[in-house]
């Protein structure tokens, strides 16, 4: 007879313990443990010899190298984030805030695959088939090869997959499906872990590309155990602000491509429309001749993106000034302010400093440092920057400007958008030829960059 055991699981990281804790020893989160009943029985030991195994180890030299076959969709932004297309048999996890457009993106991607005579099964555990049909009508994503199923039982879903034999499956969402053999409720740690493992075996065993939609927590991470992200082949985050019309699809894990790529979409009434030139979108509302505004050339994977930085420095009456950053690392902002105080002599100890990446983009590469320093100094001195300048470079603690990678791509993107000058590290001038029609200024220190950038 199987014996029922009661265990406690952390909903944030999946930490397992036989008793309840207020604070999780694994991730440090408070009040995240939930009680679940696990059914376990005594397993009989199987004494198998080495010759009874189906697969045997082979030398890596004898394994033939072959390129993964990919399904190329009509959505170029989605292809870029996935590393060139959808790999058959891959398991993809897509997370994002409620209402951000995950279902819209996947329904449009499913319709695009049906245009290549591929059979797609869209399984919705949150909406009825009529609701899905209404969204498909609005998106003009109706096809005879697109099948819709409203089901949450994993066994029924597997039976439907066996009957249809689709090429592409969407599960919306993984927190709503359940396995009848697991006693806990849908969305619990045990259910999410068991259902994800079940879909992984289906995807790998039958060669069906499967997409799982995952809910996110208030911190922005995918809900459920951390094991969920380790089991899948690709983890995508669909980001964006409700007050902005564009969305960012970012890969944080990809076994078949780069994890630095982003796809940019614009939300319209007819659905998501891919943005071919994101730099024009981010600079469309940029003011001219205003202090604190600087354009930086950042690399998002293989794509250069020009974004506007806005800094505001104002006097404070409180003993400890505020340091706030949106879309940029707060600790990095404090470091650059300390460099400006120590190396440049800017008295910022009684100044509040606010930094904003216009458009809600998140930039985390060190090449943004020099543009941040120029923006803060411009706002502090109330001196506007040159309106047709692009600034990028890494700033060191001694005030030096360090070299960055892929300089030629950044400069060519700036030239394409009509900028006249580029201020960059002097060490990055070697190994490439600047294009005609744009002035290149190499600097070694932050002081040289400020004297060249400020009017």
104: tokens are: 């819209």
Q: What's the 3-state SS for 1-39? A: CCEEEEEEEECCCCCEECCCCCECCCCCCECCEEEEEEE
Q: Three-class SS of residue 357?
A: strand
Q: Are strands 401-402 and 394-395 parallel, antiparallel or unpaired?
A: antiparallel
450: tokens are: 């400020």
Binding site as annotated, residues: 96-103
Binding site as annotated, residues for ATP: 96-103
Residue 44 burial class via C-beta count within 10 angstroms: exposed 0-12, middle 13-18, buried 19 and up = exposed
Residue 231 burial class via C-beta count within 10 angstroms: exposed 0-12, middle 13-18, buried 19 and up = middle
Closest CA to 246 of 214, 285, 212: 285
Cα angle 443, 449, 450; round to 5: 160
Place of tokens 């609701």: 131
Closest CA to 302 of 254, 259, 246, 358: 259
Element holding 421 (H helix, E strand): strand 421-425
C-alpha distances in Å from residue 281, one per residue of 46, 217, 274, 315, 417: 62, 29, 12, 33, 11
In angstroms, how far apart are the furthest CA atoms of the chain? 82
Query: Alpha-carbon torsion 205, 197, 221, 238, what sign?
Result: positive
């Amino acid at each position: 007879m199987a014996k029922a055991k009661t265990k406690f699981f952390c909903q944030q990281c999946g930490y397992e313990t036989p008793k309840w804790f207020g604070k999780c020893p694994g991730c440090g989160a408070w009040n995240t443990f939930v009680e679940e009943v696990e059914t376990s029985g005594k397993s009989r030991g199987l004494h198998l010899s080495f010759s009874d195994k189906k697969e045997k180890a082979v030398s890596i030299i004898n394994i033939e190298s072959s390129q993964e076959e990919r399904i190329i969709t009509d959505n170029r932004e989605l292809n870029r984030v996935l590393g060139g297309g959808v790999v058959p048999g891959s398991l993809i996890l897509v997370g994002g805030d409620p209402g951000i457009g995950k279902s819209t993106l996947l329904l449009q991607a499913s319709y695009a695959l049906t245009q290549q005579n591929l059979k797609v099964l869209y399984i919705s555990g949150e909406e009825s088939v009529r609701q899905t049909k209404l969204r498909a009508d609005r998106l003009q994503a109706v096809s005879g090869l697109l099948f819709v199923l409203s089901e949450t039982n994993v066994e029924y879903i597997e039976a439907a997959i066996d009957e249809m034999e689709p090429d592409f499956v969407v599960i919306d969402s993984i927190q709503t499906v359940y396995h009848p053999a697991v006693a806990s409720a849908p969305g619990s740690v045990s259910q999410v872990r068991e259902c994800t493992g079940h879909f992984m075996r289906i995807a790998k065993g039958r060669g069906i590309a499967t997409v799982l939609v995952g809910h996110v927590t208030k911190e922005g991470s995918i809900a459920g155990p951390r094991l969920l992200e380790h089991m899948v082949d690709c983890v995508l985050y669909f980001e964006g602000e409700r007050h902005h019309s564009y969305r960012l699809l970012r890969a944080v894990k990809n076994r078949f491509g780069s994890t630095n790529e982003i796809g940019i979409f614009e939300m319209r009434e007819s659905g998501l429309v891919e943005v071919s030139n994101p730099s024009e979108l981010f600079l469309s509302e940029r003011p001219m001749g205003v202090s604190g505004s600087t354009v930086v050339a950042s690399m998002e994977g293989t794509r250069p993106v020009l974004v506007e930085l806005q800094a505001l420095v104002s006097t404070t009456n409180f003993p400890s000034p505020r340091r706030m950053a949106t879309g940029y690392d707060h600790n990095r902002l404090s470091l650059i302010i300390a460099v400006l105080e120590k190396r440049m002599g800017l008295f910022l100890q009684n100044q509040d400093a606010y930094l904003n990446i216009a458009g809600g983009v998140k930039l985390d590469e060190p090449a943004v440092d020099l543009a941040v320093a120029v923006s803060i100094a411009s706002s502090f001195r109330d001196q506007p920057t040159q309106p047709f300048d692009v600034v990028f470079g890494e700033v060191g603690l001694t005030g030096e400007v360090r070299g960055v990678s892929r300089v030629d791509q950044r400069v060519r993107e700036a030239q394409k958008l009509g900028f006249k000058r580029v201020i960059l590290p002097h060490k990055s001038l070697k190994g490439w030829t600047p294009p005609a029609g744009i002035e290149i200024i190499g600097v070694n220190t932050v002081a040289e960059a400020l004297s060249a950038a400020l009017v």
